[in-house]
Amino acid sequence: MRSEQTADQQIETTESDHSLSKVPYNERKMGWLSITNITFGIATAIFYFQIGSVMALQFGAINALISAAYAIIVAGIMGTVIVYLSARSGMNVNLMSRGGGFGYIGASLTSLIYASNFIMYCALEGMILVFAVHEFFPVIPVWLLIVVFGTLVIPLNWFGIKQLDKLQKWSLPIFFVFLITAIVVSFMTPSQYDGAFWTYMPEGMQIGGTALLLCIGMQHGIIGLTALIASDYARFLKPNHIKGGSLAIGFIPQIFCYGVMGGLGIWFGVRLNEPNPGVYIVHLLGIGGALFTMLTQVRINVTNIYSSSLSLSNFFENVVNFKPGRRFWVVVAGVTAMALMLGGITDHLDAALTFQGVFLMSWAAILVTDFLVVKRMMKIGPGYYEERQEYLYKWNPVGVWSLIISSLLGTIAALGYMGPFMQSTAAFFAALLAAVLTIVIAYITKGKYYLNDSAKKINDIDERDILVKSKAGGK
């Protein structure tokens, strides 16, 4: 059995969130359908409408559709592996990173950047909602809408994952009613394009080539996030649901994100000749469009704030031993997102997505490679994920150097210094480089930095926690 929890961890257990420790087996009671339902809060975000609409109008509908299929496959594979590891270990990616190649301080740094990504997304999604409501009620000042809707997600996160599950369950049918209504009304609205929507191609563009690469580059900005975020919820999955549940949770949300929502965004964008869903949904449904946008953006932003609060808890607990509890970080994340909205975060969208895509794809690639290649094939490092600080090094060069080098070179490529091809595929390049570096550095270090000398005294590892029978540190 694991060692006794600290008082702070007991508080987290009472909240059923376990932001600082693994989820005990007796609390892994959620079915795969419930977990998938929660992740639909992400999949139903109107942001995917916007990505699809922008890609179609700028680079052609067929290129946007091909990039959507690519995103489903890549994010689905990465997501399935990460969900499986999370469900088996009872940890999210922040905690898994500690024993998965980063060390406990190295993993904390990834947690801080991870949290900043979710807060940034919360601000971007929040602005779609603000502009949609302002489009219908222009008399209400934008700053007031930011404060109101920015504050709303804080109490909706107060009671953790059980509250999120209930919110997503009752709101999902309402979402589908609005979505179907918008589709029907759109059919009744004269199209701005005479041909079939998938044949739309802007002047000077063609199928494939640079246009397709630019679409894939836009998808890279969010693929890593959708693959990683499910781990925050999959750690509560019932043990007997892991096999099929990992595949379902890994792929179903991605199919809906990029295939359904992204595909509808392409269709809406071409048909209505408008890239901003906050505008065309309101034009289609009037006040219903404003309510629809409000529902979808609240659904996504409660998950953004939830995941950011877990990551912030992880970072400050490890680095400065500051453990005020997850609810404190819910407030911090919500207030920070409001500050970004008031500061005009949408004006810096391209730069933010560029860094995010490179970093998150690299991080996901390291976690997947560490498990599939380093642990399973090379038999290097422990065969389980250790999250307790007393048994870990502060830094593990396997993950830390792989992430730093791949993110740095990936960002240089994304900024155009390695040519147009590398610029469009920077995140994919960074992910491949991260995977190769993980293997090379693990081979050089022989797993030395996964567990410290104190780990030799460990005698409380549950057999169910062992994922791989390994040589060094495996039990």
State the pLDDT at residue 409: 96
State the pLDDT at residue 6: 38
Round the CA-based radius of gyration of the chain to a whole number and report it: 22
pLDDT value at 134 more than 90: no
Give the SS3 label for residue 397. Answer: helix
Check: CB of residue 99 under 8 Å from CB of residue 375.
Answer: no
CA distance linking residue 442 with residue 245, whole number of Å: 30
CA distance linking residue 371 with residue 167, whole number of Å: 34
pLDDT value at 136 more than 80: no
Which residues does residue 30 pair with via DSSP β-bridges, in sequence order?
237
Residue 390 in any domain: the answer is no
Check: CB of residue 393 under 8 Å from CB of residue 449.
Answer: yes
Check: CB of residue 59 under 8 Å from CB of residue 215.
Answer: yes
pLDDT tens for 166-208 read 666 777 788 888 889 999 999 888 888 888 889 999 988 888 8
* Interacting residues of 80 by C-beta distance below 8 A, sequence separation 6+: 246, 247, 249, 250, 251
Residue 88 in any domain: the answer is yes
- Highest averaged pLDDT of the listed ranges 32-46, 60-74, 215-229, 281-295: 60-74
Check: CB of residue 221 under 8 Å from CB of residue 356.
Answer: yes
Residue 474 in any domain: the answer is no
Q: Which amino acid is at 452?
A: N
CA distance linking residue 227 with residue 416, whole number of Å: 26
Count of other CB atoms within 10 angstroms of residue 269:
30
Burial label for 429, CB within 10 Å (0-12, 13-18, 19+), is buried
Residue 370 in any domain: the answer is no
Q: Find, among 54, 112, 71, the residue nearest to 309 by Cα.
A: 112
Q: Please give the average per-residue pLDDT across 448-461, as a whole number.
A: 81
Quote the crossing angle between the two packed helices 160-188 and 277-285, to the nearest 10°: 70
State the pLDDT at residue 335: 92
State the pLDDT at residue 449: 93
C-alpha 463, offset from chain centre: 30
Residue 250 in any domain: the answer is yes
Number of separate domains in the chain: 1
Structure token pair of residue 237: 């999955």
Residue 153 in any domain: the answer is yes
State the pLDDT at residue 165: 63
Residue ranges making up the domain that contains 191: 25-348
Q: What is the 3-state secondary structure (H, E, C) of 301-326?
A: HHHHHHHHHHHHHHHHHHHCCCCCCH
CA distance linking residue 72 with residue 82, whole number of Å: 15
Q: Find, among 127, 169, 157, the residue nearest to 39 by Cα.
A: 169
Q: Find, among 57, 219, 44, 229, the residue nearest to 125 by Cα.
A: 44
Count of other CB atoms within 10 angstroms of residue 188:
7
Structure token pair of residue 378: 């090379």
Q: Which of 60-69, 187-196, 431-440 has the least mean pLDDT? A: 187-196
Note the maximum CA span of the chain. 72
pLDDT value at 227 more than 70: yes
Q: Find, among 469, 475, 474, the residue nearest to 450 by Cα.
A: 474
CA distance linking residue 164 with residue 148, whole number of Å: 20
Concatenate the DSSP letters of all residues of 86-138 into one string: HHHHT--HHHHHIIIIIHHHHHHHHHHHHHHHHHHHHHHHHHHHHHHHHHH-T
Check: CB of residue 59 under 8 Å from CB of residue 212.
Answer: yes
Check: CB of residue 124 under 8 Å from CB of residue 278.
Answer: no
pLDDT tens for 299-327 read 778 778 887 888 888 788 878 888 887 78
CA distance linking residue 110 with residue 78, whole number of Å: 18
Main-chain phi, psi angles of 30, to 5 degrees: -90, 135
Structure token pair of residue 266: 């392409």
Check: CB of residue 226 under 8 Å from CB of residue 257.
Answer: yes
Q: In percent, how much of the chain has pLDDT > 70? A: 89
Residue 61 in any domain: the answer is yes
Residue 112 in any domain: the answer is yes
Main-chain phi, psi angles of 375, to 5 degrees: -80, -45
Count of other CB atoms within 10 angstroms of residue 175:
17
Q: In percent, how much of the chain has pLDDT > 90? A: 30
Residue-averaged pLDDT of the chain: 84
Count of other CB atoms within 10 angstroms of residue 141:
10
pLDDT tens for 268-301 read 999 999 888 878 888 888 888 888 887 787 777 8
**pLDDT confidence tier of residue 80, bands split at 50, 70 and 90:** very high
**pLDDT confidence tier of residue 470, bands split at 50, 70 and 90:** low
Residue keyed to tokens 């709101």: 171
Task: Pick the more confident residue, 102 or 5.
Answer: 102
pLDDT tens for 15-49 read 456 666 788 888 888 889 888 877 776 777 788 88
The CATH number of the domain holding residue 47 is 1.10.4160.10
Q: Please give the average per-residue pLDDT across 62-67, as a whole number.
A: 95
